[in-house]
Structure 1
């Protein structure tokens, strides 16, 4: 499994917009991209303007398919207007996973 964690800093007046857009991307990706396994939208417990996306894909190719797809493009077309990021915090393959071999 290929997994990563990214962060976004969102302007306060657009927090709800970011959550809506990210959750829509999560729903659409999980429903329509066979290699998408998990897509979590997480709010930071100390900074209300900081959000994390924790995503899991079958492998790097599945992530690349997601990144080249319509849901990714729609998300960045909207969120890019009011959010800074992504800042890559972690990415890689789960140890011992066959997809990492």
Structure 2
């Protein structure tokens, strides 16, 4: 399993559009990627322009498939253009197992 924690800071005035893009992405991932075990996006309570992503993939192939899905590629340019700076990305090793995503609606 591969876990990724990513934090992004969005440009002022772009947070709502970014939230729309990643909310749709989350729905697409949950509907179409069984080997993406967790894909959640959280908006920071202290800074509404900061978003945190938690992603867990069954393996490297699942991570690559996720990055290359049509819906992911379609939103990427607009999503990246919303960012104020480079994202902070950490790859992590899970200490336990994850159930299939979907509990949060």
Normalized against structure 1, the TM-score is what? 0.81
- In the alignment, the residues of structure 2 paired with residue 40 and residue 12 of structure 1 have an alpha-carbon distance, to the nearest angstrom, of 22
> Equivalent residue for 1:57?
57
Q: Which blocks of at least 5 consecutive residues in structure 1 are unaligned?
A: none
Q: Which blocks of at least 5 consecutive residues in structure 2 are unaligned?
A: 98-105
Question: How many residue pairs are counted as aligned between the two chains?
Answer: 96
Deviation at 1:17, TM superposition (A): 0.7
> Equivalent residue for 1:26?
26
- Decide which structure has greater helix share: 1
Asked if 1:48 corresponds to 2:14, the answer is no
- In the alignment, the residues of structure 2 paired with residue 40 and residue 67 of structure 1 have an alpha-carbon distance, to the nearest angstrom, of 15
Normalized against structure 2, the TM-score is what? 0.79
Q: Which runs of 4+ in 1 moved over 3 A?
A: none
- The aligned runs of 1:65-84 (5 Å cut-off) are 65-83=65-83, 84=85
